[in-house]
Amino acid sequence: MNGQITTARLPPETRNKLLALSQLKGKTKSDIIKESLDMYYAREENEICSFAVGEPYFGNYASGENDRSISYKARIKEKLSRGGSSRRDLAGSPE
C-alpha cells in the first residue's frame, strides 16, 4: 500500500527497539509503526466511547453530601455502633 511519508524523531533506545523488533518479526519498521498506531487509535476510541456513554449521567445522581469520601470511616463506625451489619447499612445510603 502506498501512503504518505511521515517523519518522526525517535530517541535512540526507541529506534533500537524498533529495529530489533523489525528483525525479530520479519516485518518492516513501517508495518510495526502502522500496527502500533492502529492499536493506539483503537484504545483511544474505546476510552472516548466509554466516556461518551457515561457523560449524560455524570453529576446527575449526587447524594447532596459533599464530604462522603472524607466522612466514610466515621459513618461506618457510627453504623457499627448502632448495630448495622448489612453491606447496604455500611455503605451508607442517604438518610
List of the chain residues with pLDDT < 70? 1, 62, 84-95
The contacts of residue 25 (CB under 8 Å, 6+ apart) are 32
DSSP 8-state symbol, 93: -
pLDDT at residue number 9: 95
pTM: 0.50
Side chain identity, residue 10? L
Alpha-carbon span 15 to 22, nearest angstrom: 10
Neighbours of 67 (CB within 10 A): 8
Grid look-up 511521515 returns 6
What pLDDT shows up at residue 68?
A: 76
Phi, psi of 53 (to 5 degrees): -65, -40
